[in-house]
Amino acid sequence: MLGKDNFVILDGMNYIKGYRYQLWCEAKALGTTCCVVHVGTPIDQCVANNEARLNRQSQSQSEPEPEPEAQPQSETTTPATDTNTTAEKPTDPEQPYPPELLQNLIFRYEEPSTHSRWDKPLFTVPWSDEKPPIADIWTALTGISHPSTAAAETEDQLPTLTSALTNTHLSSAASIAPSTTTKGGGSFRRERPKIKPHLATVQPTSTDSGLLYSMEKRTSAVVSAIRSFVVENPSAEGALAKAGDHADGIRIAVPEVETPVFVPAHVAMTATTDELGGAGGILAVPRLQRLRRQWITLNRAYVAKVAGGDKTSLGADQVGDAFVRFLNADFAGEGVA
């Protein structure tokens, strides 16, 4: 329904400033214009209008509906209809508010202001005004002069045009004077304001589901390789002994990844427990999963840029090495005081 070629009048819940802000964001997201028309009504007048509706409702409920009398079919006659009689219509068809609810609405009412960008352009119409600024609202939304205004401008220009046509005296300067163009009412058109989408409404770059799946798969493969190493070498001291006397740490080879996972020797030996995969271990599963989720969150935007055509960002074949480097940096910082 909401679009550049439709007029949408939304009259409900607008007394809340945050709701008007959401409507403003929706309009900007679609690149269309919007405005706020505020009917300025005093509180006393609102209460009086609601009391009149309550009285009308109570009177309509107290009056019993007349039941039609049954007549024999043979004696049924068609009454004459009076063409001059018209059914009376209620002057105010709106339903009343309960008095408590009306007071709550008045208390929560947030009046629109020109200081808020989502309330502009703002047209305040007094409750007693029978002629709202329709032409100004039309021009603010469409950028086109209202037909009534255009007709008035055309009528104002007719006397000038008539006097110019009846003037037969030609001046010598007329041929060299610069020409001027009179903007007639019918051809007058303002430029429709260009709407820039609000940053809060801009949709994020679409991400290829295949790239995200590859990221999940490759990081899970790295964690699985570490888990397999921990099952074979549960002790940090034993893993360092297998690496050799001159080993500077524990190296874990990961399939399809050039860089091995590296845990420095001083970090492995100063851990809270000697078990690599135990509670508090340097290669415990909860810690690996936490680091994995953290890395995916940080690099999801780079994968989205690849989907958008940015070849300088992280590719699917670089996920494994990048994740291993992230783990190595975290393990190396474990022993830093």
Question: Does 176 fall in a domain?
Answer: no
CB burial string 121-142: b at 16+ within 10 A, e below: bebebeeeeeeeeeeebbbbbe
> Is 137 a residue whose pLDDT tops 70?
yes
CA distances from 3 to 34, 239, 292 (A): 10, 66, 43
Residues 187-209 have a mean pLDDT of: 57
Distance of alpha carbon 98 from alpha carbon 111, whole angstroms? 22
Distance of alpha carbon 326 from alpha carbon 18, whole angstroms? 42
Distance of alpha carbon 227 from alpha carbon 219, whole angstroms? 13
Question: Does 154 fall in a domain?
Answer: no
Q: Are residues 10 and 133 in the same domain?
A: yes
Q: Are residues 16 and 111 in the same domain?
A: yes
> Is 172 a residue whose pLDDT tops 90?
no
Please identify, among 148, 164, 182, the residue that sits at the C-terminal boundary of a domain: 148
The answer to which of 38-47, 74-83, 246-255, 286-295 has the lowest mean pLDDT is: 74-83
The answer to which of 75-79, 155-159, 239-243, 332-336 has the lowest mean pLDDT is: 75-79
What's the number of domains the chain is made of? 2
Q: Are residues 3 and 143 in the same domain?
A: yes
Range of the domain at 115: 1-57+94-148
Tokens of residue 166, six digits: 């009846």
Question: Does 221 fall in a domain?
Answer: yes
Q: Are residues 242 and 122 in the same domain?
A: no
Question: Does 132 fall in a domain?
Answer: yes
Q: Are residues 132 and 53 in the same domain?
A: yes
Question: Does 290 fall in a domain?
Answer: yes
Distance of alpha carbon 139 from alpha carbon 136, whole angstroms? 5
Which residue is listed with tokens 């959401």?
Answer: 22
Question: Does 63 fall in a domain?
Answer: no
More confident residue, 83 or 309: 309
Q: Are residues 2 and 141 in the same domain?
A: yes
Q: What is the DSSP letter of 31?
A: T
Please identify, among 131, 148, 165, the residue that sits at the C-terminal boundary of a domain: 148
Q: Are residues 8 and 126 in the same domain?
A: yes
Q: Given pLDDT bands bounded at 50, 70 and 90, which one contains residue 177?
A: very low
Inter-residue contact 25 to 117 (CB < 8 Å): no
The answer to which of 149-153, 247-251, 288-292, 310-314 has the lowest mean pLDDT is: 310-314
Question: Does 159 fall in a domain?
Answer: no
Q: Chain-wide mean pLDDT for the chain?
A: 75
Question: Does 84 fall in a domain?
Answer: no
Q: pLDDT tens digit string along 76-116?
A: 444 444 444 444 445 667 889 999 999 998 998 889 988 88
Q: What is the DSSP string of 57-78?
A: HHHHHHSPPPPPPP--GGG--P
Q: Are residues 119 and 250 in the same domain?
A: no
> Is 60 a residue whose pLDDT tops 60?
yes
Please identify, among 103, 118, 148, the residue that sits at the C-terminal boundary of a domain: 148
Q: Are residues 233 and 110 in the same domain?
A: no
> Is 331 a residue whose pLDDT tops 80?
yes
Q: Are residues 107 and 247 in the same domain?
A: no
What CATH number has the domain bearing residue 101? 3.40.50.300
Distance of alpha carbon 333 from alpha carbon 336, whole angstroms? 5
Residues 272-292 have a mean pLDDT of: 85
Q: Are residues 139 and 15 in the same domain?
A: yes
Q: Are residues 101 and 239 in the same domain?
A: no
Distance of alpha carbon 54 from alpha carbon 136, whole angstroms? 36
